[in-house]
Structure 1
Amino acid sequence: MGRPRSRDGGGNRDTLILDAAERLFAYHGYDAVTLRAVAGEADVDLALIGYYFGAKQKLFDTVFQRRARILNEDRLAALASARAECDPIPLEKIIEAYLRPLEMAQESEDQGWRNYCALLAYVNTSPVWGPVLMSRHFDGPMEAFVEALAAALPRAERADLYWCYHFMSGAMSLTFANTGRINVMSGGLCRSDDFQTAYDRMIPFVVAGFERVCGPLK
């Protein structure tokens, strides 16, 4: 039979499939998306998806992992840069290293990053996918930040560090989702797609929460 081919006969087919799946999963969730819909969105033969990715669950995992790897690299690089300036790293610099790469992703002209952020919000708040995909692709690098937080907040109970991370994750997820609700609530004073303003305020908000719950810095 040979290798299945895309209907247009060219292009980077696996990337076309991943981009199409990312768009559909971001806006419809896992259950509502079929492989046939992904094939139609990517304009490829249905068999091609199975050839590259296998079952839908494997495709979903691959879509999620693709940009998670980049975010993890950017965050860890920012953390290393902050540590090169001062060790232990100041609390605000740790939070900045964790959150600013997400702002840059949401501000990207690449619509794929905005789709991914919406997908990240969906996965991070899902009792089904959150424990699986977030743990698999983000928990390892996240531990480097927990260790940095422990050094910056030496009196903190370990459990309190994780609770504060949990609350920060909730603020991130709502910002990823970019629902526009704050536009209505604020009567136009705020916009959910004003990412720079959102992160400029989220960072000191999160820092204050860590300081209040985890105790004084010294």
Structure 2
Amino acid sequence: MTRSLLALALVALAATTAAADDGDGLYDRFDRDLTLAMNVGGGVVLAGGDARPTLAADLRLRVIDTAGPVVAMRYGSDGRTGHGHVLVGVELRPFFPALFLLDLSTGNEWVDLFVQSFGIELGAALFPFDDDFGVGLGVGLSIELPLLMPSRTSGTFQSIALRLAARRIDGTPSFRATPDQDRSEWTLMATLSFALSARAGIADWEPVRYRLD
């Protein structure tokens, strides 16, 4: 499955090499300021010296495609006694506002979306699939390879991308509420990301202005 996803990404990259550099750096983010991304795929979990296949899925809600809450799940044996985790936290994509405000966008839609998709996630890792329930700390990094870009979609449907991510779970049994057994792990993931969008008027908001005559 992972090989098929990578093949799709290479085809999309080849199709965009001849694209005109006429992007504005926003790519409809102000017109569609709420994004709901649904990701599904798989990967490899590294724990206790073993590497095992795993399933991965998540939901992400982003405001102006920059920041928002995330609920992510990994399911599959880690080779010890664990069978996955659920991460509840937040995601931040700092490159879009930084590059846009500094006028550093390249104008190439594929390149801009690729660079601006770099994300950082932080949250609480829960272990609901195990008898030894507890809470750990989850930190992750990700980047996306655009497959279908916003310029070629309309309405609610926004884009499709291949999301590549790495997540570290610290489940060391040394703090209160952590599991009795070590649940620490690394997960490397490749998922297909389907993004839906809506206009909520967030980008149009401004404080009330007063005029003194």
Q: Classify the TM-score, shorter chain.
A: under 0.3
Going by fraction, where is helix more abundant, 1 or 2?
1
Going by fraction, where is strand more abundant, 1 or 2?
2
TM value normalised by structure 1: 0.26
TM value normalised by structure 2: 0.26
